[in-house]
């Protein structure tokens, strides 16, 4: 029997070898209807003639003639390489296979896969059971002759097998983790030094610091990908040491990164679509990394092949994954013991997943799965739809309220300003004798000499009412001004004058009996798009929640000094 596989959709079928015509033929897949080349090989040799009766003893030679070495091919000198994509096989002399891993191109489906030359050293095993060179001895034993299982192993057997592999491979897996941690710490140290250098050159620039943070996150993802790839190869092939596993992980780093990226994109989209699709995608695509390591099937096809393995056994796989997740969570919550167990739980989980995957491969020996471009695009669109659920759901919830608010703004067309209740007591204008002491005060402080001449002072009377008649409130607002506000020569509030910064101050001020002077010195910032300085003197009745404004002044000129007189009394 020979397995024929379509290179377009992955459909495969067993066909008797004597029914395959010799030479290269153009055939059509019964599933996707696509044409592809089928290499039937050389015509079968004619059957030997039936044996004739032996001649008389005198006519027989004294000894049988030895067979020529070329008459019977030496199986030890030939190796069979099988394409994991289409199943095409070809015999190749062993001396032509490179000793190190190499990428080769299938002649039939024209897809690349990796061969590992060191596995061809055991010629007897290869001659007896030709395998894809990327399979390990442990994996090759899965395909040995015997009845194929029809169901997953029980939980007891599954945990027992996982524990046996864990005991054999734990030192190698810990070694991979330790080596990766050393490399990661060295990289973080270099990046930290670089971040300090950038901070010294650019300060706390958010753009530079953000780029540095992205570099560190990207490095973390690269380290995690390389470690996962190395651990996967160390579990798949138990003959690999730390260096060899890391070598395979680094060599196939881009393939693992692409598989993890695709799986992460689809899974995140599924979890955003109300969690349940994400759980389903997790069960389907959890074995993609083992498909890549075993069969050298990459990209989206690794995810599709993982789903094909799980189909028909979804509940069994889901239950086994859920059980390990619950047990791992419970163990990690135990004080002290949980910390140590969490370090070992990662390798144990990978081995546990791989044992489930081995059962699925043994059950589905002749696996076919759709691998067309349309099928790949369908799953990418399914993941993308999950990312659109959040904004659509947000619009459905908040959309009516936003639309109603927008309609109200359109209908009103104007805004009403807040109007405070104010009580003003008009006073007669200053006479010359009253204004003279204020001018003398300006000459003593020197504020009138440096700026433009001050305007005539404004005066008001604040009545002595309430529990604290001498206490009033002062509000100061300033934008694009620098200066200060003083009461009776004592600074109340400095205006620092940072560009385009809104300064707001509200505080209490204690007046003295009779005459009080508010002095404001100010200077506009150059090339400011707007300038404004506002002062307000008021009193607030906390009992009745009522504000009484006595005076409010607004200044917008480039710079000067102003003096405002407040008289406390009736």
- Using alpha carbons, select from 247, 233, 232, 257 the residue that is nearest to residue 179: 247
Instruction: Quick: pLDDT tens for 237-261.
Output: 888 888 888 888 888 889 999 999 9
HSE-CB at 366 with a 13 A cutoff on CA atoms is 12
Ranges of residues in the chain with a pLDDT under 70 are 1, 8-10, 23-26, 28, 30-35, 40-77, 99-101, 116-148, 405-457, 570
Kind plus residue range of the DSSP H or E element containing 564? strand 559-568
- Using alpha carbons, select from 378, 386, 394, 391 the residue that is nearest to residue 267: 386
Confidence (pLDDT) at 177: 79
How far is residue 329's CA from residue 327's CA, in Å, rounded to a whole number? 5
Confidence (pLDDT) at 448: 43
For residues 46 and 52, the answer to whether their CB atoms sit within 8 Å is no
CA distances for 312 relative to 31, 309, 316, 359, 538, angstroms: 20, 8, 9, 13, 80
Q: In what order do the strands lie in the sheet with 490-495?
A: 458-462, 559-568, 514-524, 481-487, 490-495
Confidence (pLDDT) at 155: 93
How far is residue 421's CA from residue 468's CA, in Å, rounded to a whole number? 20
- Using alpha carbons, select from 443, 420, 388, 439 the residue that is nearest to residue 547: 420
Q: Tell me the three-class secondary structure of 13-71, residue by residue.
A: EEECHHHCCCCEEEEECCCCCCEEEEECCCCCCCCCCCCCCCCCHHHCCCCCCCCCCCC
Q: What 3-state class would DSSP assign to 154? A: coil
Residue with tokens 């579990």: 235
How far is residue 440's CA from residue 341's CA, in Å, rounded to a whole number? 84
HSE-CB at 265 with a 13 A cutoff on CA atoms is 17
Residue with tokens 């993890």: 260
How far is residue 141's CA from residue 144's CA, in Å, rounded to a whole number? 5
For residues 385 and 393, the answer to whether their CB atoms sit within 8 Å is no
* The model's pTM: 0.51
- Using alpha carbons, select from 89, 130, 142, 94 the residue that is nearest to residue 113: 89
Length of the chain: 570
Q: Please report the DSSP string for 488-538 in residue order.
A: TTEEEEEE---TTPEEEEEEEEEPPSEEEEEEEEEEEPTT-S--EEEEEEE
């Amino acid at each position: 029997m020979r397995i024929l596989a379509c290179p377009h959709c992955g459909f495969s079928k067993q066909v008797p070898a004597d029914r395959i015509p010799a030479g290269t033929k153009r055939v059509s897949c019964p599933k996707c209807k696509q044409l592809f080349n089928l290499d039937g090989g050389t015509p079968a040799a004619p059957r030997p003639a039936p044996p004739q009766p032996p001649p008389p003893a005198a006519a027989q030679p004294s000894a049988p003639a030895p067979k020529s070495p070329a008459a019977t091919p030496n199986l030890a000198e030939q190796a069979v390489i099988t394409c994991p994509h289409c199943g095409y096989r070809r015999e190749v002399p062993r001396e032509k296979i490179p000793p190190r891993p190499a990428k080769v191109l299938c002649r039939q489906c024209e897809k690349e896969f990796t061969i590992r030359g060191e596995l061809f050293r055991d010629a007897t095993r290869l001659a007896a059971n030709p395998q894809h060179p990327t399979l390990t001895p442990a994996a090759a034993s899965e395909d040995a002759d015997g009845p194929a299982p029809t169901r997953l192993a029980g939980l007891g057997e599954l945990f027992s097998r996982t524990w046996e592999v864990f005991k054999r491979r734990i030192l190698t897996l810990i070694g991979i983790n330790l080596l990766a941690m050393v490399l990661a710490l060295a990289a973080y140290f270099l990046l930290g030094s670089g971040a300090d250098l950038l901070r010294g050159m650019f300060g706390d620039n958010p753009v530079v610091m953000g780029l540095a943070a992205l570099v560190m996150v990207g490095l973390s993802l690269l380290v995690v990908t390389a470690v996962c790839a190395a651990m996967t190869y160390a579990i798949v092939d138990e003959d690999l040491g730390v260096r060899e596993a890391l070598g395979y992980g680094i060599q196939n780093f881009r393939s693992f990164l692409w598989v993890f990226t695709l799986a992460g994109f689809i899974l995140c989209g599924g979890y955003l679509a109300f969690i349940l699709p994400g759980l389903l995608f997790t069960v389907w695509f959890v074995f993609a990394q083992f498909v890549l390591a075993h069969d050298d099937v990459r990209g989206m096809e690794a995810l599709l092949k993982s789903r094909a393995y799980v189909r028909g056994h979804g509940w069994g796989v889901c239950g086994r994954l859920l059980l390990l997740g619950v047990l791992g969570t419970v163990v990690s919550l135990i004080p002290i013991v949980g910390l140590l167990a969490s370090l070992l739980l990662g390798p144990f989980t990978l081995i546990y997943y791989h044992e489930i995957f081995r059962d699925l491969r043994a059950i589905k020996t002749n696996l076919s799965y759709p691998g067309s471009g349309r099928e790949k695009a369908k799953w990418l669109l399914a993941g993308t739809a999950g990312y659109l659920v959040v904004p659509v759901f947000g619009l459905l919830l908040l959309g009516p309220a936003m639309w109603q608010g927008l309609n109200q703004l359109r209908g009103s067309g104007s805004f009403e300003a807040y109007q405070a209740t104010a009580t003003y007591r008009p006073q007669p204008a200053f006479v010359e004798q009253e204004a003279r002491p204020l001018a003398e005060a300006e000459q003593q402080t020197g504020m009138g000499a440096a700026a433009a001449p001050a305007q005539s002072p404004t005066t008001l009377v604040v009545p002595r009412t309430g529990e604290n008649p001498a206490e009033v409130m002062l509000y100061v607002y300033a934008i694009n001004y620098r200066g200060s506000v003083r009461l009776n020569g004592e600074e109340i509030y400095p205006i620092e004058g940072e560009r385009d910064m809104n300064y707001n101050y509200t505080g209490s001020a204690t007046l003295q009996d009779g005459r009080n002077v508010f002095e404001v010195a100010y200077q506009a910032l150059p090339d400011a798009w707007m300038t404004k300085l506002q002062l307000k003197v008021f009193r607030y009745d906390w009992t009745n929640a009522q504000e009484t404004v006595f005076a409010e002044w607004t200044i917008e000129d480039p710079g000067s000094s102003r003096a405002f007189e407040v008289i406390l009394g009736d």
